[in-house]
Amino acid sequence: MTHRLTTAAETQLDEIWLYIARETGNLSIADRTVDSITERFCLLARYPHLGRRRDHDLRSGLRSFPVGEFIVIYRTEGEEVLILSVLRGSRNIAALLDR
């Protein structure tokens, strides 16, 4: 399988990088954090059922996978893993996905 990011997920990764870079003043930490998240996309493409099913609390067909303090929300579409969102785990994920 391959993976693909939605525009929203790409924007969220950029926002995560900017936030960490501003808060820490260290671009290397921001790079490592985003790299750690994006490395998991390849893992999910190889093992798409690795994440927790979220049929009952979010939407049918969605899965989530934790990466540090972040949660990757994704679904499979044929031979592709579609990364929908990358959110801070402390946020109300259901409310954010309903936007």
Q: Which one has a higher pLDDT value, 30 or 89? A: 30
Q: Which one has a higher pLDDT value, 64 or 97? A: 64
10 Å Cβ neighbour count for 3?
19
Domain boundaries, the chain: 2-97
10 Å Cβ neighbour count for 59?
14
Cβ(81)–Cβ(2) under 8 Å? Answer: yes
Task: Say which CATH architecture domain 2-97 belongs to.
Answer: 2-Layer Sandwich (3.30)
The position carrying tokens 């059922």 is: 49
Give the pLDDT confidence of 1-60 residue by residue, as tens digits. 899 999 999 999 999 999 999 999 999 999 999 999 999 999 999 999 999 988 777 778
Q: What is the C-alpha to C-alpha distance for residues 48 and 68, in angstroms, rounded to an integer?
A: 19
- At residue 99, the pLDDT reads 47
Question: How many residues does this entry show for the chain?
Answer: 99
Burial of 68 (0-12, 13-18, 19+ CB in 10 A): exposed
State pTM to two decimals: 0.86
Angle (deg, nearest 10), helices 27-46 and 7-24: 150
Q: What are phi and psi of 37, to 5 degrees?
A: -65, -50
10 Å Cβ neighbour count for 34?
18
